Chain A
Amino acid sequence: MIELSRTVESLAPSGIRDFFDLVMSMDDVISLGVGEPDFATPWHIREAAIKSIEDGYTNYTSNKGMPELRKAICTHLDKVHQLNYDYEEEILITTGVSEGMDLAMRALINPGDEVIIPTPCYVSYYPTAKMAGARVKLLNTEPDQFKLNPEKLADAISPASKIVVLNYPSNPTGTTYDKSLLEQLAELIIKHDLIVISDEIYSHLTYDLQHIPLPTLPELRERTIFFNGFSKSCAMTGLRIAYATGPEKIIGAMTKIHQYTMLCAPTTSQFAAIEATNHGADAIASMKKEYKRRRNLVHEKLNRLGLDCPLPDGAFYAFPSIKKTGLDPTTFCKKLLTQQQVAAVPGTAFGPGGEERIRISYATDFQQLREALKRIELFLQSL
């Protein structure tokens, strides 16, 4: 009899797996369930990756990542956000933010430490915290327009609290945080001596506000692990490349785990990332423009159909309420799929706060998106 790790056994399987199988069994589906860009990676970035292979760069790199890449990212962060990180000690190149998240949790958590996670949130935060042995406190942000309410955070903080996870712009809600809210949260974080894991992978896709990286706030740099990468901004999810910056002590501990479990991020992808960092700005700007146009279409239409939906400030997701249909999200999504061949993800996959919502990704061609919204309209009329 094989006995698995009790921690792993206690984890619920991913909430979208069944749904994925159902979608795969059908034809002519327009999927609004995809959490990655529909654009191809800009050609000059692909070319840099191809060239590195042609030149024979198919070996390991330094554990932390190629110095050229670390330098390029640090220079970029300094130029754009006046964020100063030492490329030798304060940055780690990871195999996607997901790896970085796991490393950060494992590097920081001792048994009994508490991690506070605002929800609805990306699917990996809870499992990685649990696997690292943390006690997890989920804070439902649905009543506060999906923003972490400082008063509720203050109430949730206990002597065991050690880490707060932030993600803005957010997957799945599209919400982002403005300066005044970040300042209020920062005050609490400093007061209670917390560490922040700040996943800002969608920072380049902020439509109406200026994105403010958390470590740019006074006294937050020394207690924040800042995550960003190229997957979303440069449409290169499959290359699995991202980075974490933070205080030397934490980055050092994360590097220790990384060197035993990953050794280094894929070399080819690191070459692509150098090109993306140095020359990706134009491609990012043009993709952002297209996403914004789609966001406006989706937001306007969903609200007109009576699916109440706050205006997403960033990322490429809308998170409308389906309450008025009287259906739970899983039933809604299954019916929408079987009756109109449109796939969306039930809000329940993202934790508390998603019980009456679905996630719609607008990383879909504009005409397809219009067609999908038309089908949603027909579906609602049929209820």
Chain B
Amino acid sequence: MDRLLELLEDNGRMPLNELAGALEMSESEVAKKLEKFEREGVIKGYKTVIDRTKLDDAPQSIIGLIEVNISPQPDTGFDQIAREIYDHPEVRSCYLCSGDYDLLVWVEASTLNEIAEFVARELAPLKNVHKTESHFMLKIYKEGGLYFEPPTSDHRLSISP
């Protein structure tokens, strides 16, 4: 993968001058490349990873991981039915998987009830969905490569030759 993308995947907020330094390129070259990646849709966007447990006033967030079994359609395979599911705003991520189920749907809502409603009213009744299994996320240890628990401490001496 392109080195610029590797750096941004790690830290989407890395300033241009630091990117330029790390890549041994000029800032304008980096900006140009970045714009190209954005235009071509290689870069989908920039998000922030938030640890909500650290906030007192944050609205509660419940994450449901729902395994969905669907019947593929003659022309569109899994894609059409998947779209019907992932177009719902509650769906944060949606993946087609191999194994016992077909779709893994990551749903976010502020109460358990909202997720239950979503499954009962929107997901399960769909014509080609014949089974769902919901899991509720209890604790995040690590997300997007970032530790939510403190990482293993550094055992090294602070100064060594």
Contacts and interface: CB of A to CB of B under 8 A. Distances in A.
A31 B18 contact: no
Interface string B1-26: 00100010011000001101111100
A349 B161 CA distance: 9
A350 B158 CA distance: 18
A340 to B, nearest CB: 15
A254 B11 CA distance: 49
Interface residues of A, number: 31
Contacts of A38: 154, 156
B157 interface: yes
A306 interface: no
Contacts of A171: 161
A296 B23 contact: yes
B98 interface: no
Interface size class of B (residues with CB under 8 A): 10 to 19
A212 interface: no
A232 interface: no
Given A293-B7, A293-B22, A35 B161 contact: yes
Nearest to B154: A38
Contact of A300 (B18, B158, B159, B161): B18
A115 B18 CA distance: 43
Contacts of B22: 293, 296-297, 300
Given A122-B161, A366-B10, A367-B11, A36 B24 contact: no
A288 B159 CA distance: 22
Interface string B147-161: 000001010111111
B161 A16 contact: yes
B159 A345 contact: yes
B160 A33 contact: yes
A188 interface: no
Contacts of B20: 300
Contact of A36 (B3, B17, B156): B156
A123 interface: yes
B11 A299 contact: no
A123 B159 CA distance: 13
A23 B158 contact: yes
A10 interface: no
A29 interface: yes
Given A297-B22, A301-B21, A367-B11, A14 B157 contact: no
A370 interface: yes
A125 to B, nearest CB: 11
A45 B93 CA distance: 37
A19 B157 CA distance: 12
A189 interface: no
Nearest to B23: A296
B157 A296 contact: no
Interface string A170-185: 0100000000000000
B103 to A, nearest CB: 33
A20 B158 contact: yes
Contacts of B161: 14, 16, 35, 122-124, 171, 345, 349
A33 B156 contact: no
Given A296-B23, A297-B18, A297-B21, A31 B158 contact: yes
Nearest to A361: B160
A2 interface: no
A110 to B, nearest CB: 28
Contact of A370 (B18, B154, B156): B18
A300 B160 contact: no
A33 B21 contact: no
Interface of B: 3, 7, 10-11, 17-18, 20-24, 152, 154, 156-161
Given A31-B158, A293-B7, 19 more contacts: A16-B159, A16-B160, A16-B161, A23-B158, A24-B158, A31-B159, A33-B158, A35-B160, A35-B161, A124-B161, A171-B161, A293-B3, A296-B24, A297-B22, A300-B20, A300-B22, A301-B21, A343-B158, A349-B161
